[in-house]
Amino acid sequence: MPELPEVETIKNELLPYVIGRTIQSIDISWDGMVKYPPVEEFCSQVVGQKIAGLARRGKYLFFHLSGDNVLVMHMKMTGSLLVNPSDTRFTRAVLHLDKGIDVHFWDPRKFGKLWLEKHSSTVINQLGPEPLDPGFTPEALAGILHGRKAPVKAVILDQSHIAGIGNMYADESLFMAKVHPEKPAGSLTKAEIKRLHTAIRSVLLKALNLKGASVRNYIRPDGTLGTAHDEFSVAHGTGKNCPICGSPIQRLVVRGRGTYICPKCQPAP
């Protein structure tokens, strides 16, 4: 699933193609990807609008249109946005812009969604803080974890607590912090919280610099792959050994999510 580094990369690399461009037409090849309004109304409200801004919050992209609407996109499990791709097999929607620019919503498994809102705050207000913002301090993380009995991994994956962290970056962060993912969130010590805070920011920044992780379906707007997955320590590490101690990476399930750990570096609570 595209997470914060992947969606931020998509935003950054789309910006020069879309800002100031007018949506001349839109093709929807699978109606199920439009949440609301109904497809015909959605298209009529989008066509003719100029893209005045493009922003990201958590895993969401916001196309600020010249009219009264914000076009919201969520990549979900397998979505990407591609500019004038040669391979259109998995294209579910196309924004035809002026200057011959076509932006394809490419999504093999059809989980991605797009819809219109009057204000981006409708979505943003449901999300927790951005982990790369200055306001996300060790103290802020401590406040999020305080008193919670749920596994720490489940808490940091909850988008209402922290926006943008997904499964693979949670695994990498917990490994770097030497915290077991099943440890109750509220039981982390001050030292563990500080390590986890540092790890979350370090892991996300590194992945962002490497343009995201192309583990399965994520593709950058120009059709190339991100390389963050090449630097993973434990995420998707079946059959690999811990880069620190050499122990075999172990897979377990935490609240329904496949999870990778080093059982020696991250001792069970």
The Cβ of residue 144 has, within 10 Å, a number of other Cβ atoms equal to: 19
203, 164 contact by CB (below 8 A): no
Amino acid identity for residue 163 in this structure: A
- Active-site residue (options: 3, 6, 130, 182): 3
The DSSP code for 185 is G
Q: In the annotation, is 257 catalytic?
A: yes
Q: Tell me the C-alpha distance between 258 and 89, whole Å.
A: 29
DSSP 198-248: HHHHHHHHHHHHTT-B-SSS---TTSPPPBGGGG-SSTT-TT-B-TTT-PB
| Helix ranges (DSSP H) in the chain | 4-18, 39-46, 121-124, 138-145, 152-157, 167-177, 190-209
Are β-strands 80-83 and 102-106 bridged in parallel, bridged antiparallel, or unpaired? antiparallel
Please, how many CA atoms are within 13 Å of residue 10, restricted to the half-sphere of its CB?
Answer: 31
Q: In the annotation, is 59 catalytic?
A: yes
- Active-site residue (options: 56, 59, 92, 220): 59
Peptide bond into 129 cis (omega under 30): no
Q: Tell me the C-alpha distance between 263 and 242, whole Å.
A: 9
Q: Which of 226, 245, 255, 190 is nearest to 7 (CA)?
A: 226
Q: Tell me the C-alpha distance between 175 and 179, whole Å.
A: 6
- Active-site residue (options: 243, 257, 263, 264): 257
Residues forming the active site: 2-3, 59, 257
